Amino acid sequence: MNGLTLSEFCCIFCCPPFPSRIAAKLAFLPPEPTYSFTDENASKCQISLTEKAEWQYTEREKENIEGLFARTSRGNRIACLFVRCSANARFTILFSHGNAVDLGQMSSFYLGLGSRINCNIFSYDYSGYGVSSGKPSEKNLYADIDSAWHTLRTRYGISPENIILYGQSIGTVPTVDLASRYEVGAVVLHSPLTSGMRVAFPNTKRTWFFDAFPSIDKVPKVTSPVLVIHGKEDEVVDFSHGKAIYEKCPRPVDPLWVEGAGHNDVELYQEYLDRLRRKVLIIWIMINRVQMGCFVMTKKS
């Protein structure tokens, strides 16, 4: 029965779980906030980090981080960071992070990554994470990234062809959803999952009506170039998920399958940075070969 045992099958149809409950149990592990914003009512906020954020740079370099709040369509106020990593950066990465971290813990990584690949980084905390209001849920994930996208487009004036959508682990879920509706410079899916049920029950072959995070059904609608990255020894989201997502992408580039890497250490391997640098360079070359007036951002119905 599509990989489910008889007892599991009966349990699902006699008392089917709600997708939001599946999501809450499988995906959302918000940590204690590791940061706060000073002067939260200002249009620009400074970030104050706790020791758990493990900031790795100087206080002066922290001035490159701008904090702000954005309002979602579901009424939550989400915390956002704009990390200015390079004065001459052409591209900005809209980064959706993993499930057990917040912006404070990610801030050092963002500054280091952006500096190494010459990109600025815009990121946000999901509802219920960090100092964002509300509770984490699948619907809030989609509303959260929509709010981040519109903030990046309107407040900072970043055009779609200069935006790279980057999702890591649970962050690939809102990334795929947004990418299925908007065309951008490129998409990076780092340790993606195909759907919630397929993580919980690895032999599941179809998407059930109550499944959460059905990225496998949305990725065929992504028209931007997609780079899939996955550790071959991933102990949380099996490597097979990355392969399945890659095979469904209409415009995939050569994937990065990292030998020996698990779920949380892919970025420690040299080929990770090498591939991202190459990806950014290729996008830059492609865009410069096309007249800017020919690139039209369209919202697909």
Catalytic residue among 177, 234, 238, 241: 234
Catalytic residue among 96, 127, 132, 169: 169
Pairing of strands 119-124, 77-83: antiparallel
Q: Find tokens 């951008």 and name the residue.
A: 184
Q: Is 263 a catalytic residue?
A: yes
Q: How far apart are alpha carbons 249 and 219 in whole angstroms?
A: 6
Q: How far apart are alpha carbons 119 and 91 in whole angstroms?
A: 5
What are the catalytic residues? 169, 234, 263
